[in-house]
Amino acid sequence: MAGVEDTAVRAKQIPEAAVARLAVYLRVLSGMAEQGATTVSSEELSGSAGVNSAKLRKDLSYLGSYGTRGVGYEVQVLVSQIERILGLTRQHRVAVIGIGNLGHALANYGGFPGRGFPVEALFDTDPDLVGIPVGGIPVSHLEDIPRICSEREISVGIIATPPTAAQSVCDRLVAGGVQCILNFAPVVLQVPAHVEVRKVDLAVELQILSFHVARRADRAGEAPENRGTPGLPDAGLPIDNGGTGDGRNSAGTDGGLGMVVR
């Protein structure tokens, strides 16, 4: 019991950005474990994860892992620690709402079950889809969201609908006891305090990439003496990752795709 309480305390102390990096470390470490690796140095892990080693060591210190000098970290121990801190020691049943191209792809994605997120329910309003199995799961009507989510103990809802339908879908998910929502629609959802919402928006990510490409092109045209001091970071411009964008996706709906997660 003390171990569970200690984990809960540590989880509350971890910054949001570090949580995202822990998920990346877990993916890298799982791949290493599959290849038979038993230990990994901070330099190896940070290089594979795309972060500097000092930041990685700081992130892992939140888990109570400091490694062994000259040896590094035990891969399987780190995997277990990160899974525990991310709440992955149990399965989280998933419902996908909006079975257009995006929802169809999510329903058929084979990587979810192995990471503890089996898709257990699908919903749409299209009469040509309702009752048809996708990925082995029959599509149900949106009106049945509260009942089915409650019966199947769905804990995560993925919204891939047009923005005009997203809030009503969200309300139905909450009514069915869903406490975690991943929203691909380009709208801000209103939820009770106990419900966690993460938003993804591909349009914003593309705009950020555009900024970096434009800045790189501008700097390539500058005189060397105007490019800043070598070895010092470029201050650049602040980037606001909090935008919602209004891009359209290929889901057969207007739902927003994306990579920005809040």
Domain assignments of the chain as residue spans, ordered by start: 2-85, 94-197
Distances (CA, A) of 53 to 1, 73, 80: 33, 13, 20
Kindly state which CATH superfamily the domain 94-197 is placed in.
Answer: NAD(P)-binding Rossmann-like Domain (3.40.50.720)
The answer for residues whose C-beta is within 8 angstroms of residue 14's C-beta and 6 or more apart is 22, 62, 85
Output the six-digit token pair for 87.
């709440």
Which pLDDT does position 155 carry in this prediction? 96
What is the amino acid identity at position 96?
Answer: V
More confident call, 43 vs 114: 43
**Span 44-103, pLDDT tens digits:** 999 999 999 889 989 998 888 667 777 789 999 999 999 999 888 888 999 999 999 999
Q: Is the pLDDT of residue 241 over 90?
A: no
| Amino acid 220: pLDDT | 79
Asked if the model's pLDDT at residue 38 lies above 90, the reply is yes
Q: State yes or no: pLDDT of 262 exceeds 90.
A: no
Q: How confident is the model at residue 1 (pLDDT cuts 50, 70, 90)?
A: very low
Looking at residue 128, what is its pLDDT? 95
14-23, 196-205, 219-228 — which is least confidently predicted?
A: 219-228
Dihedral sign from CA coordinates of 24, 29, 32, 33: negative
Residue 256 confidence class, pLDDT cut points 50, 70, 90: very low
**Cα 117 from Cα 111, distance rounded (Å):** 9
pLDDT at 32 over 80: yes
Q: Give 196-219 pLDDT, tens digit per residue.
A: 999 998 888 899 999 999 988 888
| pLDDT attached to residue 226 | 54
Residue ranges of the binding site: 98-103
Question: Percent of the chain scored above 90 by pLDDT?
Answer: 59
Mark residue 94 as left, alpha or beta (left: phi above 0; alpha: psi -120 to 50; beta: remaining). beta
Read off the pLDDT of residues 145-192 as tens digits, 9 standing for 90 and up.
Answer: 999 999 999 999 999 999 999 999 999 999 999 999 999 999 999 999
- State pLDDT tens for residues 225-236: 555 544 434 433
Residue type for position 238? P
Q: What pLDDT shows up at residue 69? A: 77
Average pLDDT over residues 103-114: 91
Whether the pLDDT of residue 261 is over 80: the answer is no
pLDDT at res. 108:
93
Task: Reply yes or no on whether the pLDDT at 134 is more than 80.
Answer: yes
Binding residues for NAD(+): 98-103
pLDDT of residue 221: 74
Report how far residue 257's alpha carbon sits from residue 242's, in angstroms, rounded to the nearest whole number. Answer: 15
Report residue 223's pLDDT band, with 50, 70 and 90 as the boundaries.
low
Dist CA 147 CA 170 (whole Å): 14
Q: For domain 2-85, say whether CATH 2.60.200.20 is its number.
A: no
